[in-house]
Each structure stands twice: as structure tokens, then as C-alpha cells.
Amino acid sequence: MDATVHDFTKTLELNPSHATAAKDLSAFQDLVKERKRMAHLMPAATATATTTVAAAAASPIPKPAASSTKATGPKIVSPIKAATIPTAPKNLYELERVTRGLKTSPDAYATYLKSFKKKTFEKVFQDATFNSDLIGIMVSTIATQMCGVDRPFDSAGEDFPAALKLLEGISKLPKMDLTLSLLSKTEVGQLKSALSAIKAALPDKSVELFKGL
């Protein structure tokens, strides 16, 4: 920059009437003054900008407002508890109630029937009008769960002595001939198959049951 001023000054010394050099020198000097003024202002501006950036960095970033709607994830379903198997019924109402509760769980219902004593049928069905559907469910459960009827490849749970005891009790119920006539063809077929299976498994203990069948 100083060299440029020196060039203009030398030109004017050699040729004082050089108007262009004088004009250019004046404009150049004005430019130099402006540059110096700007250079003087720059440190203050830089300091201000630095302070602003530092303050912004120090300020905590605002957290987004919590949504008022709670996210609903999948509900955790508790494991289904094993069916509680009651003891032998004391009356017909209790038998019907348990049968409704366990009829969709054949294994549990079979275990329930096995708890019956010899006197259970006499006690529960004495002087009572019972539904043939109830006998049908009992017969079907005894046949499939204790005698392996309709389960030729699954002998687990077969219990022919228990089946014989239960069918003996059912056969002695009042108006059994009428009840047998109201059973479905499937239930009658299962009863016949159960009797045949019991006779084959317990030839020395088998008795003639359901003579009208």
C-alpha cells in the first residue's frame, strides 16, 4: 500500500500537471482512510459476535413438551391359571355348574368325574329331573378320556376301572332308558365303544350295563 502511494507521489513530482495521478492519489487516500476505519471497528464487532455465540451455547436446549397422550403398548396378558378341579358334587345344581365350567377342558372334567364315589350318583340325582345333555357330556368324556374312544393313537389317561365305576353309576339312574333314547348318535356310539373297550380290558370285572342299548 505504501509503495502505491509512493508511485503516485513520484508521478506528481515529475509532472505536477498530471491531473489523473492527482485525482487517483486523492481517491486512493480516501480508500486507505476507510480501510483503517473499518479495521478499527472490526475487533469490537468480533468481540460482540463471540459473546453472542458463547451465550447461545451456554443456554440449555429446551426439551419438547411432554405429550398428554400416553403411548399404549401391547397389554401383557397374565398366563391362564390351571383350572381348579372341585371335589365330588353334593347336589345336581353343583354338578351342572361344574360341568358347564369344565366341558371345554375334557382332561380336567375327566379328573373331576373320577372323584365321584359310589353314592355320588344316588345322592345327586335322587328325586331330581336331570337334563339328558348332562348325561351325554359325561358319557362322551368317559369314553374319550378314560377308554381311548376316538383316540386310537393316544392311550395316555386311559382308566378302565374308573370308567366302569362311573358307567355303573349312570346306568342305575332313574328313567335311564328314556335318557338313552335322547342321546345323540355320536354319544350312543361312544358309549357302545367304551363298553366294548372296558370288556376287553377288564374281562373278569365287566358287567352287563345299559341292557336297553
pLDDT tens figures, 133-170: 999 999 999 999 999 998 765 666 799 999 999 999 99
Comparing 79 with 19, the larger pLDDT belongs to 19
Question: What is the model's pLDDT at position 128?
Answer: 66
pLDDT of residue 197: 93
Q: How confident is the model at residue 174 (pLDDT cuts 50, 70, 90)?
A: confident
How big is the chain, counted in residues?
Answer: 213
pLDDT at 90: 92
- pLDDT (mean) for 121-139: 86
Per-residue pLDDT tens digits for 6-57? 554 555 455 555 556 556 556 656 665 666 665 555 554 444 444 544 444 4
Give the start-to-end residue ranges of the domains of the chain. 2-55, 92-201
Tell me whether residue 28 is exposed, middle or buried, using C-beta atoms within 10 angstroms of its C-beta: 0 to 12, 13 to 18, 19 or more. Answer: middle
Q: What is the mean pLDDT of residues 190-209?
A: 88
Burial of 110 (0-12, 13-18, 19+ CB in 10 A): buried
Q: Please tell me the least confidently modeled range out of 37-46, 74-83, 95-104, 167-176.
A: 74-83
Inform me whether the pLDDT recorded for 198 exceeds 90. Answer: yes
Q: Please state, in angstroms and rounded to a whole number, the distance separating the CA atoms of residues 100 and 128.
A: 18
